[in-house]
Structure 1
Amino acid sequence: MHKVIVVEDDRIIRRGICQAIPWGDHGFIVAGEAGDGEVALELIEKEQPQVVVSDINMPFMSGLEMAKQIKEKSPETRIIFLTGYEDFKYAQQALKLKAFDYLLKPVDSEYLLKKAKEAAAEWEKESVKEKRIIESLPLLQQKFFQTLIREGDYRVDVENELLALDVQMEGPFYAVLLVRNTIELDLEGHFFKEKITSFTSSYFNELPCLVMNADVGEYTILLSLENDHDSRKGELAQALFNYLSKEIDNSITITHGRAYPNLFEVGKSFLEARVAMDMRHIMGTGRVISLDETVSKCNQKAEHIQDLEMKFENHIKSGLPEKANETLMELSTAIIDRKTVPLADLKVLALKFSTMLFFEIEKWKKEDSTDRFNSSVVYKDIMELSTLTEMTEMLHSLIEQWYTAMYKKKEKNYYSHVDQAIKYIQENFHDSSLTLQKVAEFIHVSTPYLSNLFKIEKGFNFGDYLLELRMKKAMELLGEGNIKTYEVCEQVGYSNPQYFGICFKKYTGFTPAEFKKKFK
């Protein structure tokens, strides 16, 4: 049965609606009635009805004010307003509040019942749709993270994918925690996720976070942080570990990546947490592990090897691939001579330097969409290392990629994909059909890749750049004085003069006519 609540200050009309209409014969139950909006709100919050039939003009609290609050307390409830001709002026406000319908008194009982059934049917349809979305969301989340692991964050438009999953975080920095229950049964999954969500949401009341399904028995916690050194990430990880270890008699491992200043870079933090999780059999399960901890473990070596590691690290930081290659050979020889470096330590060593080389390759090669460095593949290779020779060959290959990317960038006639895109936009901004996809196709890269590259390299997105370019040209043309607004509109890439006018006023604070009069 669907619930209906009737709100009407006229007692006779209210009783007539409640009793004269055979609600029960048509799948409804009258869950309550009220003479004003204040009383009705308490009923609505308690009963969560599918349909509210309300007068629009009542004492104490009007139907319109009540509707605003209903949207907060019971957002799915459908509202049917009743009013007389003298109050028809409220119709527009009712539409803005997305009321299901607006009926004039005296309303026919059969017609009101018909509208209530339509409202309930719409509620039912949306409810089923929302239920399907909620049920499929864990699978969609898993698919996103599996794609991120497989493709790497440079091939996935992370920001748009997260928005499609209804993920909206405040920032300004973002980081990922990865929680794994090593002996979890499928039936316990929902229970385990609820435990994580309940604890994280209450531990730091002011810390925005979201728990998502990463894999079977594995969950991602996306955090909004104040800066890249925000200590609350580590505090939450340890506190959550302590809580889950007491609540669940299984082996819990929690890892976390670094914090990044853009939502579209949160993929890096996830991959770092993923790498740390993959190292759990080396670092130890049933504990909290950070990527920084896994790389710092490499410092527990003999003095000579430690000196060579530091030398190798300095060559990478100084941008000297040839020297780094020479030192790698020295390091390999020193490890062979010592003969007591465990395979686990070699993997951690490989992780440390592959991570450093990864960032160098990204820095020099980020404009090139071909032969991109895929960190997830390299991390998988590290897990499968079985000899020192394999480690040396892998690091040597990364140094070669770094060297090639660096000197290709330094060639005189070389410039990035973003530079190419900007040049194309500057030459074609007058084209009203110009889109990011069109620009990406012209320079032979994917749309998500170009979108991310704009943000990373230039600090702004495609839409903002195109808008600024068009508005500056429009201001220049209008300043000349002897030109029609519609002509300016066409010359800067807008097919709709009204839309151009809206954009122009939002950008400059003036309508085109006002700007022309003031600045010509």
Structure 2
Amino acid sequence: MHKVIVVEDDRIIRRGICQAIPWGEHGFVVAGEAGDGEVALELIEKEQPQVVVSDINMPFMSGLEMAKQIKERSPETRIIFLTGYEDFKYAQEAVKLKAFDYLLKPVDSEYLLEKAIEAAADWEKESVKEKRILESLPLLQQKFFQKLIREGDYRVDVENELLGLDVQLEGPFFGVILVKNTIELDLEGHFFKEKITSFISSHFNELSCLVMNADVGEYTILLSLENDHDSRKGELAQALFNYLSKEIDDTITITHGRAYPNMFEIGKSFLEARVAMDMKHIVGTGKVISLDETVSKCDQKEELIHDLELKLENQIKSGLPEKADEALFDLSTAIVDRKTVALADLKVLALKFSTMLFFEIEKWKKEDTTSSFNSSNVYKEIMELRTLTEMTEMLHSLIEEWSSAMYKKRENNYYSHVDQAIKYMQGNFHDSSLTLQKVAELIHVSTPYLSNLFKIEKGFNFGDYLLELRMKKAMELLGDGNIKTYEVCERVGYSNPQYFGICFKKYTGFTPAEFKKKFK
């Protein structure tokens, strides 16, 4: 049965609506009635009715005021307004409040019942839709993370995919924690996730985060962080591990990746947490593992091997693939001579240097959309390594990939997407509609892709560069002294003089008027 509540200050009309209309025959039960909005709100909050039939003009609290609060207390409730006043302003307000319908008194009983049936059907349709979305969300989340593992964060538009899953985090930095239990705890798959969510809400409620399904018995926690060294990620991982270990009779392993400054880079953090989780067979289960802690184990070796590792690391950082290949050969030779490095240590070593080489390859090859390079596949190869030779060959192939991409770019006198974007911005900074999305569309790349390229290639972001272009031109114009501030505002791409003034003072330390007076 659908619930209906009648709100009308005229007692006779109210009783007529409640008793004269055969509600029960059409699947309704009158769950309550009230003579004003204040009394009705208590009823509505308690009963959560599908339909409310209400007069608009009532004492104490009008129907419109009541409707505003209903949207907060019982947002799915459909409201049908009744009024004896043919005043358009009431209809306007009713539309703004998304009322289901607006009927003029005296209203025909059959017509009111017909509208109530339509309202209940609309509620039912929306309810089924939302239920399907909620039921399918865990599967959609799993598909997203599986796609990320299969294709890598470079080929997946992570930001748009997350928005499609209704993921909204403020940042400014983002990180991932991955939680794994060895067996699924129930057929519904809710119990483990609810434990995680409940703990975070109770003990880390100030931390903006979201728990998502990553796989069977595996959950991802997406986090908003203050900076890339935010200690709360590690604190949450350890505290959650301690809690789950006591609550659940199962082996729990928790891993976490690094923090990144862009939402679309959260894919990197997930893949790092995923790699650390795959390494649990090497470093052990039933603990908290971070990628940084995992790769740092490479430093616990004999002095010669340690020195050669540092040499290889420095050659990669210096951008010298030939020298890096030589250092790799020396390192593998030293390991053979010592005969003391375990297979587990080799895998961790491979993980450390492959991670560094991924970055170099992506830096030089990011414009090549036809490239088949996939870091996720290499991570899988690491887990299957059995010999030092296999490790050396894998790293050697990555160095060759890096070298090839580097020299191909230089030989072709490569003109990057960022260079194209900058050239366009320099000629069009006066356009007030100029945005990252607009520029990305003009040069035929995605918005997150271009944003990432700015940071990696140039060391600054799109917004900062656009601001600098506009402010330098504004300073030049104001320095002439014969131009009005509002004219400068328009000529450098601002439609709002007040906002222009705020940006100008933030950039120069002076208001436009102060700058003009001081430097003309």
| TM-score normalised by the chain length of structure 1 | 0.84
What's the offset of the Cα at 1:320?
2.1
Structure 1: which amino acid aligns with 2:115?
K
Deviation at 1:120, TM superposition (A): 0.3
- 1:450 is displaced (CA, Å) by 5.8
- SS of the aligned residue for 1:187 comes to coil
Deviations 1:88-108 (A, max 9, x none): 421101101111001111111
**Offset of 1:368 from its aligned partner?**
2.2
Structure 2 residue runs of 5 or longer lacking an equivalent are 474-490, 498-520
Q: Structure 1 stretches (4+) deviating beyond 4 angstroms? A: 420-430, 435-443, 445-458
Amino acid paired to 2:461: G
CA contact 1:237–1:288 (8 Å) conserved in 2: yes
Q: Which residue of 1 aligns with 2:73?
A: 73
1:143: which partner in 2? 143
SS in 2 for 1:52: strand
CA distance in 1, matches of 2:382, 2:373: 15
- 1:310 alignment partner in structure 2: 310
> Hey, what does 2:495 align to over in structure 1?
508
* Counterpart residue number, 1:354: 354
Q: Partners of 2:234 and 2:400 in 1: how far apart? A: 36
2: distance between equivalents of 1:422 and 1:222?
33
Q: 2:127 — aligned with what?
A: 127
CA distance in 1, matches of 2:188, 2:83: 52
Corresponding residue of 2:373: 373
- Any unmatched runs of 5+ in structure 1? 473-503, 511-520
Residue deviations 1:161-218 (CA, integer Å, cap 9, x gap): 1111111111111111111111225516211111111112222111111111111111
Q: Percent identity?
A: 84
5 Å matches for 1:411-490? 411=411, 413-420=413-420, 453=453, 459-460=461-462
User: Are residues 311 and 425 of structure 1, via their aligned partners in 2, closer, same or farther at CA, if it must alter by over 3 Å?
Assistant: closer
CA separation in 2, counterparts of 1:392 and 1:211? 38
Alignment check: 8 A CA contact 1:186 1:217 kept: no
CA distance in 1, matches of 2:406, 2:327: 19
Letter in 2 for 1:234: G
- How many correspondences in the alignment? 471
- Confirm or deny: 8 A CA contact 1:201 1:209 kept in the other structure: no
- Taking the aligned partners of 1:414 and 1:226, their CA distance within structure 2 comes to 36
- The reply to whether residue 328 of structure 1 matches residue 298 of structure 2 is no
- More divergent stretch after superposition (407-416 vs 74-83): 407-416
Tell me, in whole angstroms, the C-alpha distance in 1 between the residues paired with 2:149 and 2:454: 23
Distance 1:162 1:344, change over 3 A: same
Superposition pairs of residues 75-224 of structure 1, within 5 angstroms = 75-185=75-185, 187=187, 189-224=189-224
**Bigger mean CA offset, 268-277 vs 412-421:** 412-421
Alpha-carbon shift at residue 129 of structure 1 (Å) = 0.7
Q: CA deviation at 1:158?
A: 0.6
| Cα distance in structure 1, aligned partners of 2:17 and 2:323 | 87
TM-score between both structures, scaled by the size of structure 2: 0.84
- Name the CA distance, whole Å, in 2 between partners of 1:258 and 1:451: 19
CA distance in 1, matches of 2:45, 2:325: 69
Give the aligned partner of residue 21 of structure 2. 21
- Residue 363 of structure 1, CA deviation: 2.2
SS at 2:187's partner residue? helix
Cα RMSD after superposing both structures: 3.1
Q: In structure 2, give the amino acid aligned to 1:459.
A: N
Closer/same/farther in 2, CA of residues 509 and 197 from structure 1, 3 Å limit: same
How much does 1:7 deviate?
A: 1.3
**Alignment correspondent of 2:479:** none
Measured after TM superposition, the shift of residue 247 of structure 1 is: 1.0
Q: Give the 5 Å matches for 1:198-347.
A: 198-347=198-347
| Matched-pair contact (CA < 8 Å) for 2:159–2:448 | no
Distance 1:122 1:328 in 2: 67
How far has the Cα of 1:403 moved from its partner? Answer: 2.0
- Find the residue that maps to 1:508 and give its secondary structure: coil
Report if aligned partners of 1:174, 1:263 keep a CA contact under 8 Å in 2: yes
Cα deviation, 1:252-293, whole Å, max 9, x if unaligned, reads 111001111111110000000000000001111011100001
